[in-house]
Amino acid sequence: MLHRTKRAVLTLTFGFLAMMVCAPVAFGQAVVTDMQLTDQIVTNECNGEPVLLNGTLHQEMSFSTNPNGNTHSSFNATIHMNGYGQVTGVYYVANENIHNETNTKGVAQEQFFGTKIKLVSQGPQTPNMMDRATLHVVIDKNNVVKVEISKHQIKCN
Amino acid sequence: MFRSFKRVAILVGILLGAALALAQSTPVTNSYDLVVTNQTTVNSCSVGEPVALNGTVHVSYSVSADNSGVNHFAMTAANNLTGAGQKTGTPYLASDSDDYSSNNNDSSADLTVELKSDLKSQGATPGLTLVQSLHIVVDTTGNISAQVVSNTTGCGS
């Protein structure tokens, strides 16, 4: 009788550990993505000038799922970007941090996070600009993550 | 007798299907006004003084479901704030908005997002970026609520 109970406890323990290995997202997983922004041209709505954008988007995500199947997701992004005015030759620099969190049923989700990236002018007399950007995150049912900036809209600051 | 019953059953089925399709395609909208009373942030960009914030953050959403059962939540947060520098007495103004979308098969939405706005100095001190972290919840009955988790500032580059 005691042997049977012991065996049952061992089986349950190994089963639980096996679940943790097979479903890492369910018990906490961090995902890091890095993306290059390369030669994206966006028209500055403030003065009609095309601005050439280059830079990097680094995103760190973590997930934890409770026994009810609800997933808490945390998204931290860092953007380093520069812009170059194609008419005026003005150079802009941007460094922004973004933090968002979601609570969803299951892991699969699609999120669009609106954010603002301040383009700081490196010229003496030229004003700063604001890039109203959208961070687009997709996590499919197989836990594959895709991150991109789906929209840039540059306006006067 | 049996034929009549069958016809009525089919008719009821068609009507129920039509009602369900209508319910899926008609977006539900709702909004919430979050009152900000003497919440403090710190202008760490120039003078390093605490700034007391007062005003409102208006949070609204619409939700619609597609044929595959995915709910599309579209949210907007817009603030209208005044600030008062606690050392210099400098007044500040902030009025801006951001959009967020969340698509998943959940009937509720639970997001923590950032609302970034220019905190414009009305005095001699330079302006800065106010980052309000907002926890927004749309429950299963369609009610929306929100609270400010934190108020931080950014200086750009």
Identity (one letter) of the amino acid at B151?
N
| Domain contains A140 | yes
Considering only alpha carbons, which residue of chain A is nearest residue B135? A101
pLDDT at res. B103: 95
The boundaries of the domain holding residue A82 are 25-156
- Name the band, by pLDDT with cuts 50, 70 and 90, for residue A24: very low
DSSP string of chain B, one letter each residue: -HHHHHHHHHHHHHHHHHHHHHHHHSPEEEEEEEEEEEEEEEETTTT-EEEEEEEEEEEEEEEEE-TTS-EEEEEEEEEEEEEEETTT--EEEEEEEEEEEEEES-SSEEEEEEEEEEEEESSSS--EEEEEEEEEEE-TTS-EEEEEEEEEEE---
Cβ(A50)–Cβ(A86) below 8 Å? yes
Angstroms from B118 CA to nearest CA on chain A? 8
Query: Which among B110, B118, B156 has the least Cβ separation from residue A102?
Result: B110
Put simply, the answer to whether A134 touches B99 (Cβ < 8 Å) is yes
Residue listed under structure tokens 């008062």 = B84
Of A129-133, B78-82, B126-130, B148-152, which range is least confident? B126-130
Put simply, the answer to whether B99 touches A109 (Cβ < 8 Å) is no
Angstroms from B37 CA to nearest CA on chain A? 24
Chain B touched by A120 (CB under 8 Å): yes
| Domain contains A1 | no
Considering only alpha carbons, which residue of chain A is nearest residue B134? A100
Q: What are the domain boundaries of chain B? A: 28-154
Q: Is the pLDDT score of B28 beyond 90?
A: no
| Domain contains A115 | yes
Selected residue with higher pLDDT from B139 and B44: B139
| Domain contains A16 | no
Put simply, the answer to whether A104 touches B98 (Cβ < 8 Å) is no
How far apart, in whole angstroms, are the C-alpha atoms of residue B49 and residue B41? 9
How far apart, in whole angstroms, are the C-alpha atoms of residue B38 and residue B55? 9
CA B87 to chain centre: 32
pLDDT at res. A28: 65
Q: Is the pLDDT score of B1 beyond 80?
A: no
Chain A touched by B157 (CB under 8 Å): yes
How far apart, in whole angstroms, are the C-alpha atoms of residue B116 and residue B105? 28
When pLDDT is averaged across residues A42-66 and rounded to a whole number, the result is 92
| Domain contains A13 | no
Into how many domains does chain A fold?
1
Question: ∠ at Cα A126 (A123, A131), nearest 5°?
Answer: 100
Put simply, the answer to whether B156 touches A105 (Cβ < 8 Å) is no
Q: Is the pLDDT score of A36 beyond 90?
A: yes
What is the per-residue pLDDT across A91-111, written as a single tens digit (0 to 9) for each? 999 999 999 999 999 889 999
Of A23-32, A136-145, B93-102, which range is least confident? A23-32
Q: Is the pLDDT score of A23 beyond 70?
A: no
* Antiparallel, parallel or unpaired: β B49-65 and B71-85: antiparallel
Put simply, the answer to whether A111 touches B156 (Cβ < 8 Å) is no
How far apart, in whole angstroms, are the C-alpha atoms of residue B123 and residue B48? 15
- Name the band, by pLDDT with cuts 50, 70 and 90, for residue B17: low
Cβ(A55)–Cβ(A81) below 8 Å? yes
Average pLDDT taken over every residue of chain A: 83
How far apart, in whole angstroms, are the C-alpha atoms of residue B54 and residue B69? 40
Percentage of the residues of chain A whose pLDDT score is greater than 70:
82
Residue A42: CB atoms within 10 A of its CB come to 17
Which B residues in the span 105-124 are in contact with A, Cβ-Cβ below 8 Å? Answer: 105-106, 110-114, 116, 118
Q: Is the pLDDT score of A40 beyond 70?
A: yes
Put simply, the answer to whether B154 touches A106 (Cβ < 8 Å) is no
Of A64-68, B19-23, B136-140, which range is least confident? B19-23
